[in-house]
Copies of this chain bind each other. A is one copy, B any other.
Amino acid sequence: MVVLPCFEIKDEDLLARIGRLKTKSGVLETPYFFPVVNPLKHKQLVTTTELQNMGFTGIITNAYLLFRHGLTHDDVHRVLSFQGVIMTDSGAYQLMQYGDIEIDNRSIVKIQCDIGSDIGVILDIPTKYEDPRDKVVYSVEETLRRACEAIDIVENCKSTLWVLPIQGGMHLDLLRTASQRATQIPGYTVYGLGSPTTLLENFMFEKIIEMIATVRGIVESSKPLHLFGAGHPLIIPFAVALGVDLMDSASYIIYARDGRYITRRGTYRLEDLDYFPCSCPICSKYTPKDLMEMSYEDRVKLLAMHNLYTILEELRNVKTAIREGRLFEYLVERAHSHPAAMRAFKTLIKYLNLVIRRAPYINPRAKAVYLFHYESLYNPRILIPRINIENNLDPISQNLLILIGCIKEKPFIESRCVESIVEKFCNTVFCDVYIAVPWLGTIPLEASYQYPFSQNEIVVESISNDIVEDLMYLVLDLVLKYVDKYRDNVKIKIVCVEEYSWIRDFCLRLRGVVEELNITKNIVFYRVSRDLHMHNATPPFSR
């Protein structure tokens, strides 16, 4: 992996990372969101000073608009009165909206260099999601051609970091090829994922997730990825989880002009709100009624500021989750906040292989894993150790002891419940001992100390049928491995600690499958009551 001198990764969880992107005007901590700033000051209701005071260390403006209004004579930082990081877009969005603009690619790239842009973008050809395939092919080809066409300028303008937007839109095969070819072009530091704005506006999050995963599957981890037009907190955690580092949007002001109030759980119309479900400085000071009674300009400005505070809050939540290694839990929570977020989550789940391939280790600072929802079965912090156990499983002894239900005391190897059962069954013979735990799977006793087998918090009431079934199949896999290896010589003891209602169901199902497979002769079931009194018994156990 090539480490870029200008992009340092400080922390990772899933494919998300907290990074430092170094520009000539300062360092941006990623994931970062650039608010779009109109270069015409009288049209920018929230001033650049106000943005800076809110905590924005970087903004994005439009080089084409600067050019059209004769504002390219001076350094862009002076023009916008902003001393932080300034990214400039090229006018591609205007191209998409209005069909044509009166400047060519090389000229707009040159201008961005001349005005001292910290991060610049070539004049790409955006893909509209409703575009027919041949038009998308043209976007891909022409954008790549333009990226090549500008190589000499970008390579001679090293003080600016250059973004190469990747086109292809919802045509994932085109997007994949475009990504592969883009990574071959020298001179660019950041890759961009072009124009999902219309998809985002229509909350078609599943498409965006597919697009991000496709590009991230090819662009190497060391390179930052920019998602153009992402300005709703509902998409941010999912985009970041798949490796998006930078985002920008004008949604905060577009929504505000339309009277829309952004929350982390969806968008409301101002007139439908009786309360502001937020504690930002705007919402702590005003009520919806106050805003309704203001002038349009004042109202839009305050709404825009609230919308921006909400985006900042979402980003800080995501970063906090990355730092504590609980981004997956955070995604599950966010998924339950809105149908569109759930669709994003369900789509993200399809790319878990990519996540595990790219990030096969667990953040050493990860806190205890929370196991209290079905979706946790997909948590890489569960999957990775389960895969490791599966891969390293080697039946050593012909005596297999599986304990089910000793989940309270941790580490298992120090639990009185485990100790007394093992003592009873293994004091004269050598045994392989496994503990079967919902979500966590079949854990070799000697792995008790490994993360997350002692670092987890299970809500027993959340052990649903699906979770029981998952565990049942894992236990069955384990049993079959021993039966395959030792045939008639294996002695398997399955000990169920009758402390929870799911255990009964578990044992009953397991017995059913074991009978179907005709392997009952090797297996003895035991039940152990709460006081650790043991019985040899066939499920279903009497009460």
Which residues of chain A have a CB within 8 Å of any CB of chain B? Answer: 54-55, 265, 268, 272-281, 283-284, 309-310, 312-313, 316-317, 319-320, 323-324, 332-333, 335-339, 342-343, 346-347, 370, 372-374, 457-459, 461-462, 464-466
Q: Identify A309's interface contact among B275, B279, B312, B372, CB under 8 A.
A: B279
Q: How far is the CA of A333 from the CA of B263 in the complex (A)?
A: 14
Nearest B residue to A312, CB-CB: B279
A370 proximity list for chain B (CB < 8 A): 338-339
Instruction: State whether A319 and B457 are in contact (beta carbons under 8 Å apart), knowing that A54-B284, A284-B54, A336-B332 are contacts in the complex.
Output: no
Q: List 13 A-B contacts (CB under 8 A).
A: A54-B284, A273-B320, A275-B319, A275-B323, A279-B313, A280-B284, A281-B284, A333-B337, A338-B370, A339-B372, A339-B458, A342-B462, A343-B461
Q: How far is the CA of A373 from the CA of B54 in the complex (A)?
A: 36
Q: How far is the CA of A372 from the CA of B319 in the complex (A)?
A: 26
Q: How far is the CA of A336 from the CA of B341 in the complex (A)?
A: 14
A324 proximity list for chain B (CB < 8 A): 272
Q: How many protomers of this protein does the assembly include?
A: 2
Instruction: State whether A279 and B279 are in contact (beta carbons under 8 Å apart), knowing that A342-B373, A459-B342, A461-B346 are contacts in the complex.
Output: yes
A277 proximity list for chain B (CB < 8 A): 313, 316-317, 319-320
Closest 10 pairs between A and B when the two form their complex, measured CB to CB: A279-B313, A346-B461, A279-B280, A277-B317, A279-B309, A275-B316, A342-B372, A277-B320, A336-B336, A333-B336
Q: How far is the CA of A306 from the CA of B217 in the complex (A)?
A: 41
Q: Is the interface of A mostly helix, strand, loop or mixed?
A: helix
Minimum Cβ distance to chain B for residue A331 (Å): 10
Nearest B residue to A464, CB-CB: B466
Q: How far is the CA of A320 from the CA of B279 in the complex (A)?
A: 14
Q: How far is the CA of A309 from the CA of B465 in the complex (A)?
A: 40
Nearest B residue to A280, CB-CB: B279
* Other 9 A-B pairs with CB < 8 A, given A277-B320, A279-B313, A284-B312: A55-B284, A274-B320, A274-B323, A275-B320, A332-B336, A338-B370, A342-B462, A346-B461, A374-B464
Q: How far is the CA of A370 from the CA of B274 in the complex (A)?
A: 21
Establish whether residues B464 and A276, one from each chain, have CB atoms under 8 Å apart when the complex forms.
no
A343 proximity list for chain B (CB < 8 A): 459, 461
Establish whether residues A459 and B339, one from each chain, have CB atoms under 8 Å apart when the complex forms.
yes
A284 proximity list for chain B (CB < 8 A): 54-55, 280-281, 309, 312
Minimum Cβ distance to chain B for residue A339 (Å): 5
Most B CB within 10 A of own CB, among A54, A277, A323, A346? A277
Q: How far is the CA of A282 from the CA of B316 in the complex (A)?
A: 14
Q: How far is the CA of A135 from the CA of B313 in the complex (A)?
A: 48
